[in-house]
Structure 1
Amino acid sequence: MADNGSAQSAADRTEQVRLAVYTRFASDGRAPRPAELATDVGRTPAEVRQEFRRLHASRDVVLDPHDGDRILMAHPFSAIPLGFSVMGARTLWWGGCAWDSFAIPHLVPAEPEVLVATACPGCGAALAWTVGRAAPPAGEGVAHFRTPVADAWPDVVRTCANQRLFCSTGCVAALVARDGGTRGYVMDLATLWRLARGWYAGRLDRGYVRREPASAAAYFADAGLRGPFWGLPTDGGA
């Protein structure tokens, strides 16, 4: 039987690397490689690589399937462009998706307000909103999510790439008609802001624990989301 002290020490080592990854992403806007992160945590690059694999398995990071040294995403941060830029006063990030782009100012203490910029996938128009903590941004834009939450993780990069912001529901319809895909879930900016504001709370703190399904469902309902797309009963919604 494993010694409880050893098991706790292993968990602590993984948490140390997780926190270092997120801290680097928050401050630098990019993902650290094992060699540079090893200096931060006092471990060897090989040990950091092992922790990367554990964090990928626990869905705390997303590794490049072709390069295990490369973190693609550590939500809400992204190391790859997926349609958004998020500009704070000190840092510029790639926004992994509409959800994550709106979440960054709620998570990073030093950046209470950011400029989220993208292009409408329906018509190509440039779109930008100032997103802060006090209230949703004004505007007529909508967010369109294509993949139901229960199916998000098998190809999470593709899922995130299809959580986009549009000028209007008309532009969503134009894209769906053009590419022959299915319409997903459409929400207004206020609902997106509520979804984003507390979802990642605590992720920059030691001891963060991901939400269990029941807690996630309650959070989605409180944000104003409805229906089986979110694993919730249907009583209105998109």
Structure 2
Amino acid sequence: MSAETDTSWDEDVRVAVYRAFAEHGRPPTAPELADAAHGSLAVAKQALHRLAERRHLVLDECEHVVLAHPFAAIPLGFSVMGERTLWWGGCAWDAFAIPHLVKGEPEVLVSTRCRGCGEPQALMVNDRTPPKGGLVAHFLVPVARMWDDVVHTCANQSLFCGESCVDEWLAETGQDKGYVMDLATLWRLAAGWYDGRLDHGYTRRDPAAAAAYFEQAGLSGPFWH
């Protein structure tokens, strides 16, 4: 079996990963991965590494899928509960994206804590209108550096009670302010970002298309370049 032939199965493996998360709230099992690569777990693992290199997913040192945005295999501060499935949301962005991507769950309960004061927060998020409330999202890492350490990036896209909690948390941690947005802007950012990711033939946006998407969501400036 040539490497070239193996590469042709990458898309089947990618879809298997995303659909396992979408349908079951977890990464695919070894047999499910093998099935996606026509019975070969070794070929599936090779595909996972190529997919990680192309930023379709994130692996840990044991070749386990940690992130397949908007889904996470590890807790990063958000739980997302639908009628039938419970997910870890990788971040505020991803938690808000799940009801837009998983059409069988058009409304979910997003639960987290304010990163600043620790106050529990729960929001009903759907694919029709932004949730109400005065919470804000703070993104620490600018777009150009988000993939330098994507787990760190996701862990620092958080919800806060308000901008005063953001400022207090930044002062306590000694970090520079990133970008603060309201819930409506976060919802617009999440709404269409992952369109098509559960289907064959998905392609990631190039930088120009990403910039246009951010601008349409109401996000501009150096942080989003």
Q: Give the structure 2 partner of residue 164 of structure 1.
A: 158
Which of residues 196, 202, 210 is equivalent to 1:208?
202
Q: Give the structure 2 partner of residue 48 of structure 1.
A: 44
Q: Give the structure 2 partner of residue 16 of structure 1.
A: 12
Q: Give the structure 2 partner of residue 30 of structure 1.
A: 26
For 1:190, give the aligned amino acid: A
For 1:153, give the aligned amino acid: W
Which of residues 139, 155, 159 is equivalent to 1:145?
139
Q: Give the structure 2 partner of residue 74 of structure 1.
A: 68
For 1:44, give the aligned amino acid: S
Kept in 1, the 8 Å contact 2:16–2:32? The answer is no
Normalised to the residue count of structure 1, the TM-score between the two structures is 0.91
The offset of 1:109, in angstroms, is 1.3
Number of residue pairs the alignment of both structures matches: 224
Mark the runs of 5 or more structure 2 residues left unpaired by the alignment.
none
Kept in 2, the 8 Å contact 1:85–1:94? The answer is yes
Which of residues 96, 103, 106 is equivalent to 1:112?
106
Kept in 1, the 8 Å contact 2:7–2:47? The answer is no
SS at match of 2:80: strand
Q: Give the structure 2 partner of residue 101 of structure 1.
A: 95
Kept in 1, the 8 Å contact 2:10–2:51? The answer is yes
For 2:149, give the aligned amino acid: D
Which of residues 189, 194, 219 is equivalent to 2:188?
194
SS at match of 2:8: helix
Quote the Cα distance in structure 1 between the aligned partners of 2:191 and 2:201. 20
Kept in 1, the 8 Å contact 2:52–2:58? The answer is yes
Quote the Cα distance in structure 2 between the aligned partners of 1:34 and 1:182. 42
Aligned residues: CA RMSD = 1.5
Give runs of ≥4 in structure 1 deviating > 2 Å. Answer: 9-12, 33-36, 39-43
Which of residues 148, 172, 177 is equivalent to 1:178?
172
For 1:24, give the aligned amino acid: A
User: What do the CA deviations read for 1:68-121 (whole angstroms, capped 9, x no partner)?
Assistant: 1x0000000000000000000110000100000000000001110000000001
For 1:187, give the aligned amino acid: M
Quote the Cα distance in structure 1 between the aligned partners of 2:29 and 2:146. 26
Quote the Cα distance in structure 2 between the aligned partners of 1:46 and 1:211. 29
For 1:94, give the aligned amino acid: W
Q: Give the structure 1 partner of residue 221 of structure 2.
A: 227
Quote the Cα distance in structure 1 between the aligned partners of 2:131 and 2:183. 7
The offset of 1:226, in angstroms, is 1.6
Kept in 2, the 8 Å contact 1:34–1:48? The answer is no
Quote the Cα distance in structure 2 between the aligned partners of 1:208 and 1:12. 14
The offset of 1:43, in angstroms, is 2.4
Q: Give the structure 1 partner of residue 59 of structure 2.
A: 63
The offset of 1:37, in angstroms, is 1.8
Kept in 2, the 8 Å contact 1:20–1:41? The answer is no
User: What do the CA deviations read for 1:168-217 (whole angstroms, capped 9, x no partner)?
Assistant: 00100110011111111000000000000000000011100000000000
The offset of 1:41, in angstroms, is 4.4
Quote the Cα distance in structure 1 between the aligned partners of 2:30 and 2:43. 9
